[in-house]
Amino acid sequence: MSSPEQATQTQLRNIEARTGKSLAELTVLVQNSGLSKHSEIRSMLSEQFGLGYGDASTLAHYAMQSDGERAAKAQGLSLDQTLDEIYTGAKASQRPIHEKLVAAIQEFGPYETAPKKGYVSLRRKRQFAMLGPATNTRFELGLNLKNAGPSERLIEMPPGSMCNYKVRLTDPEQVDEELVAWIKQAYESAG
C-alpha cells in the first residue's frame, strides 16, 4: 500500500497528464488567476480543465501551498503547535477527545493530517474525516461514509457538505466501538 504522500504525487502526475501542463505551469495559472479562495480556484480548475472535485482541490492546495502540512510548515508551525492553536481557551478541554480519536485512527494505517484554521482534515486518497471543536462545549467529527443510515448519533449532513455525516461529542468516553467502526469504514472507502 502506498503512503498518502505517494498517492498525492501519483494524483499530481495524473493531473499533469490530463491537463497537458506541468505543475509549474498550473501553479502560475492559479497564482495569476486573481482568485484567492480555495473554492473559487477549485471551480476554475474544474471548468478550465474538466478536473473532478478531488483533483481540482488537490491541485488548488498544491498551487497555493495551502495543504495543511505545507501551510503549517510555511508558518513555521509543527502539527502540535497547530493543534495548540485550535485547542486554546475554552476549547482546550476538547483536546482529549481529539487525542482519543487519533489514537484509534492510527491503528488503521497511514493517512495524511491536514490542519486547517479550526479543525483537522484526515485523508487518504480522499478526505475521510474532519475533527475539531464546533463550539466551546461541543466537538464534531465529520465522516464521509457510504451506505450508512443516519441515526440519532450519526447525523446526516445536507448534500454538498464537506462530510456527509457528523457525530457530536462532549466526552472522550463517547469514542466507543460503534464510532470507531464508522471511522474505519470511512477510512477504508477513502482509498
- Reduce the secondary structure of 145-182 to three states and give it as a string: CCCCCCCCCCEECCCCCCCCEEEEECCHHHCCHHHHHH
What does the pLDDT look like over 151-181, one tens digit per residue? 899 999 887 777 899 999 999 999 999 999 9
* pLDDT one-digit tens code per residue, 74-96: 555 677 777 888 888 999 999 99
pLDDT at 1: 34
* pLDDT(3) > 70: no
User: Rounded to two decimals, what is the model's pTM?
Assistant: 0.64
Query: Could you give the C-alpha distances from 112 to 86, 120, 149, 152, 174, in angstroms and in order?
Result: 18, 10, 27, 29, 24
Alpha carbon distance 136, 85 (integer Å)? 14
